Structure 1
Amino acid sequence: MNLIFKNATIIDKNSPFHNKQVDIIVENGIIKQIGNNITAEGFETVELDNLHISKGWFDSSVSLGEPGYEDRETLANGLDTAAKSGFTDIALQPNNNPIAERQGDIAFLVNRSAGHATNLHPIGALTKGSEGKDMAELFDMKNAGAVAFGDHNKAIADANILKIALQYVQDFNGLVIAYSQDDKIKGRGVVHEGVISTRLGLKGIPALAEELQIARNLFLLEYTGGKMHIPTISTGRSVQLIREGKAKGLNVTCSVAVHHLVLTDEVLCDFDTRYKVAPPLRPEAERELLIEGVLDGTIDLITSDHNPLDIENKKLEFDLAKDGTIGLESAFGALMTVLPLEVIVEKLTAGKIIFGSDSHDIEEGSTAGFTLFTPTGDRKFTKKDILSKSKNSAFLGRTMKGKAYGIYNNGKLILNG
């Protein structure tokens, strides 16, 4: 597919064309020319309203269901949803059935996702069955294509298991994902412990449950060396702990979910289970500290933390409903209401480096891997905007700014609508 992208504003701080409006010629998947008023016979023209282009976005935490939970989401539809939402790459959580804990499990996901415009990067379970007891087949999974190892939304209670994993993966430059929550302190809590939990009569989860575990995990990393990624942090103290760890020279990175940057626990007042997520939504003061952590560079990545769930697991009493919201479709538009455009693009593209994926600059001679979007235009996010099989979105009815048009990646142009 030979294309010419017309009047596109490039957003890439490392590019000489940053913030410049140009035409881009792509021939056989390679950027052949970048300039102004370019003409090319026989090329298909892509011209969209206020078109902006950046390097392809990477989402570091996506759940898709298949295998085992195809009623929630399939790999094919999930990858199509990611593409139309602007993501050229997603890291897939191992919370399927069977859990991705062996070489064959990873090989299945790699083979099943081949040929799609969006690249799928499997995360292998850190422990067998994600039960936190015995280490899974990490090296074999790495050879099959796993980009990191972690138990989805499950903390490793046994500090020795995490210590051994951090030491072991250094032999092959592996990345350990350490979800941080002390389950004993969490107890039976379902929302942030504070004014809202008291008002609603719901059991609270202290911020300490996250912060104490992060402190422990950083101590382990300081002892072992290696690489650690702490996903979906949600408190200001967590930001500060990681900031201090980085100042010590620890090889630690972290992410924050879109919903923690945009929403607060005030939305829980109607007991709507769409807002039941892990970690829980926090008060405004915590949200502001997370924004500060994004802006000062402490927080490396922003993730949609996309987790499709069926009605049977979501339309329940608040205590019984599963944690999770879909987020691919709403990620960019929601972020544009709270952060500057250049920061959003930076945090949505940095994951390729952290997770060891190929990152192609927007320059002549480079492989073309783009996200296409517009940062302007207000709209309300409705059910018709949901492309996932599951509809459990925490952003329904919220005003968005801008939208993702789609992607050009792997020689394929995928547009939303």
Structure 2
Amino acid sequence: MNILLKSVTIVNGSTKNLHLKEKDILIKNGLIEAIETTIEPNGKTRVIEINNLHVSLGWFDSGVSFGEPGYEERETIENGLLTAAKSGFTDVILNTSSHPTPDSASDIVYLKNAGKDQLTNLHPLGNLTVRGEGEVLAELYDMKNAGALGFYDYKHPMTNANLLKIALQYAQNFDGMVFSFPLDKSISGKGIVNEGITSTKLGLKGIPALAEELQVARDLFVLEYTGGKLFIPTISTANSVKLIADAKKKGLQVSCSVAAHNLVITDTALEDFDTKYKVMPPLRTAADIKALHKGVKNGTIDFVTSDHTPLNIELKHVEFDNANFGTIGLESIFGMLNQLFNVEETVELLTKGRSIFGMEEPQLEVGQEANLSLFTTNDTYKFSQGHIFSSSKNSIAIGKQITGKVVGAIANNQIVLNK
């Protein structure tokens, strides 16, 4: 398949000679054949010419959830990867949120096979403990050999500090990445939103920032004792940023992510009791958002994730107390980030970090495999259900004004476009 991208602006800071230059890009059989000022189509070539079209290296999300196996009504792997491709993502790491959860090598093989031959590459995680119950370590070494990029009991905090210690020590033997969700359940209790002025006014049970920060501090103390590689997904408080920054200064191998919505929306959005705003970790305060922005800018926070979590309608259209936590986000993350940062910064956030997980970083150069995201930067619109590709529609971004529109992606000798 031959593809010619006409008059595209290249956003790629690692290639200074091409960065922010308008070029034509010719792709033949999945490889970048030429990057020139003007290229004329020859033979059977699909020409893509769209006003204000920009191109960057393919985007990467460090944590998404689908439904399969077990919750196919929320999202199949096939449609989840198609959604990712339409949203500009060429690589996604799959959380352990299925039923049953993946805690063996055969489970990892199943997930990789289910995701093969798609444009977007699926990289599964395996459970840290058997069935995600936090009691016995799962088959970490076998899962790593089968292709698991890390080990995570999705959204379930590791309450047993000694088991975390053992996991970090054991995983060093094969360069394994251990995930630990930042929540101390003994502090959070039955809380469902951020503890503060809004929760008090609304009469909703609160989760104090302390619940996150105690867990982060404990995990970092354990990491300092054991060594190894620790990933803390979706931090949300100012003090968590400070704790991780201090740990990095000590030379600890710790990395972390923040969900895009935790960079944009404060807990004041809860005043209408709209369950689309019920997420975990909860929406925090303006002061937390300010610190998270700073952490993203200075590199303390390694990834901004969509934290894409499809949920069928009956899990959200109930009383706030009874609704499930979670929002989809693949379709809206680019536009939301593009409201906060300039285009170069947004693209940097969406492309960096594969090497933390031992993945190969793509290159935007002649002779390399085409692994590209396509987008515009000057479209401003209100996000609606019509912009959602997922089977589930539980998006926190509905009704939000966002800037920039994803056109599609190219990878694995395939192209997926939205228009």
Give TM-score, length-normalised by structure 2.
0.98
1:198 paired residue among 189, 200, 220: 200
Cα-Cα RMSD: 0.9
Q: Specify the alignment match of 1:256 in structure 2.
A: 258
SS at match of 2:326: coil
Correspondences of 1:263-412 after superposition (within 5 Å): 263-412=265-414
Which among 106, 109, 129 is matched to residue 108 of structure 2?
106
Report what 1:30 is aligned to: 31
Pick from 229, 238, 243 the counterpart of residue 245 of structure 2: 243
How far 1:358 sits from its partner (Å)? Answer: 2.2
Percent identical pairs in the alignment equals 53
2:57 alignment counterpart:
55
Q: Which residue of 2 aligns with 1:93?
A: 95
Work out the CA distance in 1 between the residues paired with 2:50 and 2:76.
Answer: 30
Give yes or no for the alignment of 1:138 onto 2:140.
yes
The letter for the 1-side match of 2:34 is: Q
- Pick aligned residue for 1:220 from 219, 222, 235: 222
The residue type paired with residue 235 of structure 2 is: I
The answer to whether the aligner puts 1:151 opposite 2:163 as a matched pair is no
Q: Quick check: 1:41 aligned with 2:42? A: yes
Task: Report the Cα distance in structure 1 between the residues aligned to 2:221 and 2:313, rounded to whole angstroms.
Answer: 40
Aligned to 1:21: 22
SS for the counterpart of 1:149 is coil
Secondary structure class of the residue paired with 1:148: coil
Is 1:163 aligned to 2:165, yes or no? yes
C-alpha contact (below 8 Å) 1:254/1:299 kept by paired residues: yes
**3-state DSSP of counterpart to 1:336:** helix
> How many corresponding residue pairs?
417
Counterpart CA distance in 2 for 1:210 and 1:347 is 24
SS of residue in 2 equivalent to 1:327 = coil
Question: How far apart in 2 are the matches of 1:158 and 1:350?
Answer: 32
Aligned equivalents of 2:146, 2:159: Cα separation in 1: 27
Looking at structure 2, the residues matched to 407 and 359 of structure 1 have their Cα atoms a distance apart, in angstroms, of 16
Question: Contact 2:74–2:310 at 8 Å: present in 1 too?
Answer: yes
Residue by residue, what CA displacement relative to the aligned partner does 1:201-260 show, whole Å, maximum 9, x if unpaired?
001100000011001111111111111111101011111111000000111111100100
Partner of 1:124, secondary structure, is coil
What CA distance in whole angstroms lies between the structure 2 residues aligned with 1:48 and 1:67?
A: 38
Q: Which residue is equivalent to 1:78?
A: 80
For residues 53 and 360 of structure 2, what CA distance do their matches in structure 1 show? 24
2:10 is aligned to: 10
**1:32-71: per-residue Cα shift (whole Å, max 9, x none)?**
1111012241222111221111111111111101000001
Mark the runs of 5 or more structure 2 residues left unpaired by the alignment: none
1:101-156 Cα deviation digits (max 9, x unpaired): 11111111100111000000001010111111100011111111111111111110
Structure 2: distance between partners of 1:339 and 1:149: 31
Are the aligned partners of 1:59 and 1:351 in contact in 2 as well (CA < 8 Å)?
no
Q: Distance between the aligned counterparts of 1:47 and 1:147, measured in 2?
A: 37
Deviation for aligned residue 1:347: 1.5
Alignment-derived partner of residue 126 in structure 2 = 124
The answer to whether the Cα contact below 8 Å between 1:101 and 1:125 also exists between their aligned partners in 2 is: yes
Q: Which amino acid aligns with 1:104?
A: S
Residue number among 176, 180, 183 corresponding to 2:182 in the alignment: 180
In the TM superposition, what is the alpha-carbon distance from 1:351 to its structure 2 partner?
3.2
Contact 2:192/2:206, CA 8 A, preserved across alignment: yes
Could you tell me which amino acid in structure 1 is paired with residue 11 of structure 2? I
Contact 1:82 1:88 in 2 (8 A): yes
Deviations 1:251-283 (A, max 9, x none): 111110010011110110011111000000001
1:24 corresponds to which letter in structure 2?
I
